[in-house]
Amino acid sequence: MYQANDRRYDKMVYNHIGRSGLRVSAISLGLWQNFGFGSSFVTAEEMCRTAFDLGITHFDLANNYGHPFNGSAEENFGKILDRGLRAYRDELCISTKAGYEMWPGVYGDRNGCRKYLISSLDQSLKRMGLEYVDIFYHHVFDPNTPLEETALALDQIVRQGKALYVGISNYNKEQTSKILSIFKELKTPFIVNQPSFSMLNRWVERDGLDEFCFESGIGLAVFSPLYQGFLTDRYLNGVPEDSRVGRGATWIANELDDKMLKKLGALNEIARSRGQKLSQLAIAWLLNNKAVATVLVGASRPQQIIDNVGAIDNLALSESELEEIEQILAQ
């Protein structure tokens, strides 16, 4: 039976999400890829255990993770919980989402209506064998459902005891502002927005979402921090056949041109001067943004989680380092 590492809390940094009382590990494990049907269950379990042993307490899922076998990541996570991790349930912050296409018909397609959100969470709880999740997100803004309906559904979910907090994902500043005003009226514990954000994908800054969320007491839990693997050492010396680009498993493969490779090489030199891997620098850079509470990392093997958690050893970035990074990214 699994026994967690007694020293799991020794090194990890824990941040409050916005102005809430909830703290999460600065690095969280996202189960988007490599945890669903067709993935190695043994490896998935080892990755979850490795993460927790390193102090990662936040595990992030969604109803459709495991595509095309939607729900299979949650099912596997439920099995992982049953095989020892469930004993630590009160030490875990588990989140899931609904919003994208999930099941056939008009009630399970991409939307934010009350029927879909509540039905989906009921299914997610059953798959994972949970009475509640810590955070439940609306996964993507739905222009065809009144925002009040989406907000009221999320509020109802909390009042039913099926989630402790609610969040949104893939909402821009304007959309976040509108739903925040509704949540304030309802006194819903709305604490987090989950956008994509990285050195190579800075729409959050251009949109002003990070500043708005910080000022409004909402935390950011950012995904794709390594830009589909670009911000790792995978592509510094060419394109490996087993990489996402090599397999054709990413929609941004055409961005990996000579200009991008030069940029990655320059960033890697900064990382090396700090005694870090490029991925660790990329994570540290994100955590220097005052709005970011946690960085959601994906993984295909335990060593990647170990490497990413290593970013915690050197999070501080000097003004000169930040300026040099800005100059490289502007090229």
Q: pLDDT tens digits for the chain (331 residues)?
A: 899 999 999 999 999 999 999 999 999 999 999 999 999 999 999 999 999 999 999 999 999 999 889 999 999 999 999 999 999 999 999 999 999 999 999 999 999 999 999 999 999 999 999 999 999 999 999 999 999 999 999 999 999 999 999 999 999 999 999 999 999 999 999 999 999 999 999 999 999 999 999 999 999 999 999 998 999 998 887 665 555 554 555 556 677 888 888 999 999 999 999 999 999 999 999 999 999 999 999 999 999 999 999 999 999 999 999 999 999 999 8
Give the N- to C-terminal CA distance of the chain in Å, as an integer: 52
Give CA–CA dist 306/138, Å, rounded: 30
- What's the whole-model pTM score? 0.94
Whether the Cβ atoms of residue 237 and residue 270 lie closer than 8 Å to each other: no
3 state SS for the chain: CCCCCCCCCCCCCEEECCCCCCEEECEEEECCCCCCCCCCHHHHHHHHHHHHHCCCCEEECCCCCCCCCCCHHHHHHHHHHHCCHHHHHHHCEEEEEECCCCCCCCCCCCCCCHHHHHHHHHHHHHHHCCCCEEEEEECCCCCCCCHHHHHHHHHHHHHCCCEEEEEEECCCHHHHHHHHHHHHHHCCCEEEEECECECCECHHHHHCHHHHHHHHCCEEEEECCCCCCCCCCCCCCCCCCCCHHHHCCCCCHHHCCHHHHHHHHHHHHHHHHCCCCHHHHHHHHHHCCCCEEEEEECCCCHHHHHHHHHHHHHCCCCHHHHHHHHHHHCC
What is the fold, at CATH topology level, of the domain defined by 14-253+279-315? TIM Barrel (3.20.20)
Q: How far is CA 260 from CA 241, 253, 255, in A?
A: 19, 11, 7
- Residue 50 near residue 63 (C-beta atoms within 8 A): no
Q: What is the dihedral of CA 251, 255, 257, 262, to 10 degrees?
A: -130
Query: What pLDDT score was predicted for residue 246?
Result: 45
The count of other CB atoms within 10 Å of the CB of residue 326 is 10
| pLDDT given at position 235 | 81
Please name the residues in contact with 328: beta carbons below 8 A apart, sequence gap of 6 or more: 263, 266, 267, 270
Distance of CA 45 to CAs 29, 91, 211, 266, Å?
12, 17, 37, 36
Contact indicator for 179, 142 with CB cutoff of 8 Å? no
Residue 254: predicted pLDDT: 77
Give the residue extent of every domain in the chain: 14-253+279-315
Give me the pLDDT at residue 250, please. Answer: 57
